Chain A
Amino acid sequence: MSCLVCGAQFQAPANLIVHQVLSCNECLSEFEVTDTEPLTLVELPPNEEDWGQ
Chain B
Amino acid sequence: MVQVALVHGIVREEERLLLNALTQHPVIAPRLVHESDQAQITPDNTDCVLIRSVSHHHARTIAFMLERRGLLVVNPSQTIELCGDKIRTAIALEQGGVPQPRFRTAFSVDEALRRMDEVGYPLVLKPPVGSWGRLLAKVNDRDAAEALLEHKQVLGGPQHHVYFLQEYIPQAGHDIRVFIAGGTPLAAIERHADHWINNTARGATVANRPLDEGLRNLAIAASAAVGGGLLAIDVLVSNGEYLVNEVNDRMEFKNSIAPTGVDLPQRVAEYLVQHVGVFV
Interface residues of A (CB under 8 A from B): 17-21, 32-33, 44, 47-53
A47–B55 Cα distance when bound, in Å, is 9
In chain A, what residue has the closest Cβ to B13? A21
Identify whether the interface residues of A are mostly helix, strand, loop, or mixed. loop
Whether the pair B9, A47 counts as a contact (CB closer than 8 A) is no
Whether the pair B9, A50 counts as a contact (CB closer than 8 A) is no
Whether the pair B34, A51 counts as a contact (CB closer than 8 A) is no
Whether the pair B129, A49 counts as a contact (CB closer than 8 A) is yes
Interface size class of B (residues with CB under 8 A): 20 to 34
Return 28 A-B CB contacts under 8 Å, by A number: A17-B16, A17-B19, A19-B8, A19-B11, A20-B10, A20-B11, A33-B11, A44-B10, A47-B134, A49-B127, A49-B129, A49-B130, A49-B135, A50-B55, A50-B56, A50-B84, A50-B129, A51-B56, A51-B131, A52-B54, A52-B131, A52-B132, A52-B201, A52-B252, A53-B131, A53-B132, A53-B232, A53-B250
How far does the Cβ of B19 sit from chain A's closest Cβ, in whole Å?
8
Q: Which residues of B contact A49 (CB under 8 A)?
A: 127, 129-130, 134-135
A17–B16 Cα distance when bound, in Å, is 9
A51–B53 Cα distance when bound, in Å, is 9
Nearest 3 interchain pairs by C-beta: A53-B248, A50-B56, A52-B131
